[in-house]
Amino acid sequence: MASEHVHQLSDATFKEDVLDSQIPVLVDFWAEWCGPCRMVGPIVEELAEDYAGKLKVGKLNVDENRATAGQFGIRSIPTLLIFKDGKVVEQIVGYQPKAAFKTKIDGVL
């Protein structure tokens, strides 16, 4: 079950939802068929709730949104990027424990 704090992103909404955001944004680049992506999913939802109001969290399905995935050079998934003021400031590739995500996020906020 998806958290109400996690935004579903698309090529069409990426600029408005992420690049123009007033607060930092964590974007989970994922796909249905990706096992590690499914492992990261619940962590991403917990982070969205933990940082509600301070960090926007979104998921972008790379199979459905190839333009955005290509624009940011996503080669393997899961890849999570943290954007601040429209720029990538952190990158996390592959499955990591929740503490690793929190360390990166706290460094940005």
Where in the sequence numbering do the catalytic residues fall? Answer: 34, 37
Task: Return the number of other C-beta atoms located less than 10 Å from residue 16's C-beta.
Answer: 10
- Under 8 Å between Cβ of 99 and 92: no
Nearest alpha carbon to residue 49 among 105, 107, 108: 105
